[in-house]
Amino acid sequence: MIEQKLSPLKQALSHHKAYGLLNTTDNIRTFMEYHVYAVWDFMTLLKALQRRLTCVDIPWRESSYPTEVVRFINEIVIGEESDLDQNGQPISHYSLYLEAMQEVGADVSKVQQFVASLDTSIIPEGAREFVEYNLKLAEEGTDEEVAAAFLYGREKLIPEMFTGIKDALISENADCPTLIYYLERHIELDGDEHGPLAEKCLKSICGDDKDKWQRALTVGEECLQMRDALWNQVEKALLQKSGIRAA
C-alpha cells in the first residue's frame, strides 16, 4: 500500500531532468558538490537508527527489536563507516566520496567547513534545506519516521541514479577510478542488500500499527519531495553553467 502511494513521486524523481544533465565530468563535478551533503547526512540517519534500534549504552541491554533488525543496522554501520576501498584499505563512504570529488576536481572545502562547524548557512541553497530536514528528523522523529527516511529517501533511490552517472563517466572515458568504484559499490550494496533489509527493518518497526505506517508514509512523501527540491537546485546550477535559464 505505501509503495503504491509513493509510486508517483518515485516515478517523477526517476525521470528528473537533472539526470539528463549528468552526462559530462564537468556537470558531475557540480552535482557532487551538492550531493556530498546527502552522503554526509545519510550517516546521521543511520546513526539515529543505530542509537534507537540497537544498544549503544553502558551497561549493555538486549534490544527490544528483533535480532535481524539489530544485525542489519550494525552491518550497514560497518559498511558505511569502515568499508574497503578499491585497494582493500578501510575507509568510510563519506571519506571515499571526498576522495572521488577531489579526483574529478570538485571543491570539498565547503562541506569540510560545514562538518567541522555544523553551520548550515555554509551549505548551498537546496542542499541546505535537505540537510536541515534530515537533521531534525534524526533528532526528533519517531523510530518509524527515521526508518522511512532511510528506506524511501535513500536506499530505494540510489542504484538507478548511480547507474546512469557511471555509464556517463565510462562513455566519456573519464579517469576517475575512485568515483566509479564508489558508484559500483553503492549500486551493489543498496540494490542487492541494504534496500531489501531496510524494508524489513521498517516492517518490523511498524508491524500492524496503522498509525506508524501513516507516519512512515508521510515522511516517505516528504523525503521524496525534499530530494526533488535538491535535484531542482542541481538542475538550476547546471543550466546556469550552460547559460540556460531553468524552466
Q: What is the largest CA-CA distance in the chain?
A: 59
DSSP string, 37-100: HHHHHHHHHHHHHHHHHS--SSS----SS-HHHHHHHHHHHHHHHHEE-TTS-EE-HHHHHHHH
Neighbours of 82 (CB within 10 A): 11
Is the model's pLDDT at 155 over the cut of 60? Answer: no
Q: Which residue has the cell 556530498?
A: 36
Interval 183-202: pLDDT, tens: 999 888 765 667 778 888 89
DSSP string, 221-245: HHHHHHHHHHHHHHHHHHHHHTT--
* Contact (CB, 8 A) for 19 and 233: no
Interval 203-239: pLDDT, tens: 999 999 999 999 999 999 999 999 999 999 999 999 9
Establish how many alpha carbons lie within 13 A of residue 119's alpha carbon, considering only the half-sphere containing its beta carbon: 7
At 156, the pLDDT band (50, 70, 90 cuts) reads: low
Neighbours of 85 (CB within 10 A): 17
Is the model's pLDDT at 100 over the cut of 60? Answer: yes
**pLDDT for 163:** 86
What number is the average pLDDT over the span 104-114?
97
Domains contained in the chain, CATH given: 1-242 (1.20.910.10)
**pLDDT for 159:** 73
Q: Please tell me the least confidently modeled range out of 105-114, 117-126, 155-164.
A: 155-164
**Residues linked to residue 84 through DSSP beta bridges, in sequence order:** 90
What number is the average pLDDT over the span 58-79?
92
**pLDDT for 233:** 96
- Give the whole-angstrom CA distance, residue 154 versus residue 180: 19
Q: Where are the beta strands (DSSP E) in 69-225?
A: 83-84, 90-91
Is the model's pLDDT at 154 over the cut of 90? Answer: no
- Of 210, 217, 184, 167, nearest to 8 (Cα)? 217
**pLDDT for 158:** 72
Interval 1-51: pLDDT, tens: 788 899 999 888 888 999 889 889 999 999 999 999 999 999 999 999 999
Neighbours of 107 (CB within 10 A): 14
Burial class from Cβ neighbours inside 10 Å (0-12, 13-18, 19+) for residue 99 reads middle
Interval 115-140: pLDDT, tens: 999 999 999 999 999 999 999 999 99
At 246, the pLDDT band (50, 70, 90 cuts) reads: low
- Give the whole-angstrom CA distance, residue 206 versus residue 56: 22
